[in-house]
Structure 1
């Protein structure tokens, strides 16, 4: 039973509905939430039980994929639009879900259903089903349904515009880099050091010089991917995860060294805790969500206040698959993320799914060059445009794309292993970056680094060529 809050956007996850027919839940046991798929018949339906404090009218948005084989493969697409019905005790709406022609990792849509659905006070049900002619094949997936009062939706749009920061510096940079340097990182050979030791020994100036030689205008420094550590004495972090902070403030030193080289610093954050079972579906479904977000805001706010303008942005992972599914308090989160510097940019990663909220500045765009740079996206992100999505599932956000450079993982997490070779030649990477800059979308390229912060010579040589070709000095 979901209690509807009239003053908020209410998220009804497809996986939380009563499922009838042949519907299936993707990856049901994870803390991150996914979609219901195999919606192929009028006999398939989803029903949510809701509790509403007072009778009212609500706008509905469906997050759908009109396609075939989820996860990201579309071998059995629906042949065309699919008509669906949404029904409550007090009314019905019908809507036709269109077919989105896009790259394989960009198929999900936000469908704003015209009109409103009236919900009665007290406990009731909302049912979603297809209304297709007999024998008409289709194949849908549903991630969620959003319910919000029209006046609240308008107010949230105003709040989003008020909190929005300029992303022009990202566009002017042309490309940035991500470094997934965490407690899981290994050196080129031998066992890894403790996180405290690795942080203590990190050569900030050597790292900053290496970054400067790549031509990148900013970096995203990841500390909590696959682990939950932070390389600075953050009190609120230490309370939540004892022993997972450090005496040295590596972030402050990195910010200063990078600033001297005219490079901005952003931070990556991934939710998690030190307990072994924290990132499990059972824990995520039972935890005190208000307490969790209060802790989250305290940590992020403390970090923002500590670094002020030295911290240019945040890249928050699992925005749609985790925070969104917990009815995230987006305004409070984004305000915490901008504490100490209102111009700090914020993005909540939606992966292949639509944006989680308008209360952010840019779309993280996790994907690869070929997926994000296709002519099929011309209407949404045209060549010669502003870099802001004009339409589609990321409408209104600055376009970026985040991808791995080498053929391994995001971080160097294998012992006694070389960093793999770059996936693209210098010429290929240069061509892709030029295509991106033509649309003013900003590539954020993850470079795999060893525990001492050094990159492979192959990567260094690749970016020497990229810098020479892309970062042409202004005459």
Structure 2
């Protein structure tokens, strides 16, 4: 028995040393959280100026009124434009300042406002440069092809992209509580070694920042270097969460309120959402809900605010979880 105990301790320590067992206490706030809001704000070639028009105060007022526990925001996605400055990205790609990375530091403004109101802040970023920007992909070290699609991972590309991430992580420091990396797909060669690079980059700015790497539409522990599950789920009511952890990763689900990501409608009624949300959050698994936003200068509503009917439903759902 004594030898068995010693062997178990050695195995456990070895697993923790290699990151195989996380149970990261930095995720404790997630287990206590109930409902987070998420938006896709993705200006591009024709509307890059929308970043300057974004109304941070109006957004924060919505989040506070709805009692959102945390908020997720996109740094960028596929179109090659980013909602924040990054001189490392500019240097690697040869782009001029404010040509692809905005002059306005929108995440900094949002993060500070969230901090003031006790709202946790998560940043979204793909695991590689924008797939519609072949120049950036190639300049950073990923293949230039296939066009408009995720490239196969290379170590030089991941190392350079980690430098871009590290700049943002150190720039925002403890204002950012978490990172949600998209496109960590096995079929394009994303592996633990890439996740480890990105995790180290994130934690260089805030050791308590938590990170996840999306492997696709499912609730799984995708890599030993994630702290929580990406949990992208299209049909939330088909998922039953049994507890806080999945193989050492804090459970978390990301889904959408509308008929698809960013859509302005409400696909389910309150009475459909509430029983599932209660069961899921009671298990220690927070739920992040993506909602549509006003992203047109012609709109009478403030730029970057959530659709009224959706944020109203979010508020009702959050209240039902108290």
**TM-score, normalisation: structure 2:** 0.80
Query: Deviations along 1:233-284, whole A, 9 cap, x unmatched?
Result: 2111223452210111111100011111210111011123422784628993
8 Å CA contact retained: 1:180, 1:223? no
Match of 2:271 in 1: 427
- 1:45-444 to 2 correspondences below 5 Å: 155=14, 157-160=16-19, 161=21, 164-183=24-43, 194-195=47-48, 197-241=49-93, 242=95, 243-270=99-126, 271-273=128-130, 274-275=133-134, 278=144, 280=146, 284-285=151-152, 289-321=154-186, 324-325=189-190, 328-352=193-217, 354-367=220-233, 368-373=235-240, 381-382=241-242, 385=243, 387-389=244-246, 395-408=247-260, 410-411=261-262, 419-444=263-288
In 2, Cα distance between the equivalents of 1:279 and 1:370?
37
Query: Deviations along 1:89-134, whole A, 9 cap, x unmatched?
Result: xxxxxxxxxxxxxxxxxxxxxxxxxxxxxxxxxxxxxxxxxxxxxx
Alpha-carbon spacing, 1:323–1:269, altered in 2? closer, same or farther (3 Å): farther
Query: Deviations along 1:38-90, whole A, 9 cap, x unmatched?
Result: xxxxxxxxxxxxxxxxxxxxxxxxxxxxxxxxxxxxxxxxxxxxxxxxxxxxx
In 1, Cα distance between the equivalents of 2:228 and 2:29?
12
SS at match of 2:121: strand
TM-fit CA distance, 1:228: 2.8
TM-fit CA distance, 1:162: 7.3
8 Å CA contact retained: 1:231, 1:251? yes
TM-fit CA distance, 1:198: 1.0
How many residue pairs match? The answer is 288
SS at match of 1:363: coil
SS at match of 1:254: helix
8 Å CA contact retained: 1:220, 1:268? yes
In 2, Cα distance between the equivalents of 1:245 and 1:441?
34
In 2, Cα distance between the equivalents of 1:330 and 1:163?
17
Structure 1 residue ranges (4+ consecutive) displaced by more than 6 angstroms after TM superposition: 151-154
In 1, Cα distance between the equivalents of 2:187 and 2:91?
22
TM-fit CA distance, 1:194: 2.5
Match of 2:319 in 1: 468
Alpha-carbon spacing, 1:406–1:352, altered in 2? closer, same or farther (3 Å): closer
Alpha-carbon spacing, 1:359–1:247, altered in 2? closer, same or farther (3 Å): same
Match of 1:131 in 2: none
TM-fit CA distance, 1:163: 9.7
Match of 1:58 in 2: none
8 Å CA contact retained: 2:55, 2:305? no
Match of 2:140 in 1: none
Match of 1:447 in 2: 291
8 Å CA contact retained: 2:253, 2:288? yes
SS at match of 1:402: strand
TM-fit CA distance, 1:177: 1.6
8 Å CA contact retained: 1:346, 1:362? yes
TM-fit CA distance, 1:465: 1.4
* Cα RMSD (Å): 2.8
Query: Deviations along 1:417-447, whole A, 9 cap, x unmatched?
Result: xx53211112222222111112111111111
TM-fit CA distance, 1:157: 4.2
8 Å CA contact retained: 1:225, 1:269? yes
8 Å CA contact retained: 2:211, 2:228? yes
**TM-score, normalisation: structure 1:** 0.56
SS at match of 1:423: coil
SS at match of 1:166: helix
In 2, Cα distance between the equivalents of 1:168 and 1:360?
15
**Structure 2 unpaired stretches of 5+:** 1-9, 136-142, 296-302
**Structure 1 unpaired stretches of 5+:** 1-150, 185-191, 374-380, 390-394, 412-418
Alpha-carbon spacing, 1:165–1:320, altered in 2? closer, same or farther (3 Å): farther
TM-fit CA distance, 1:305: 0.4
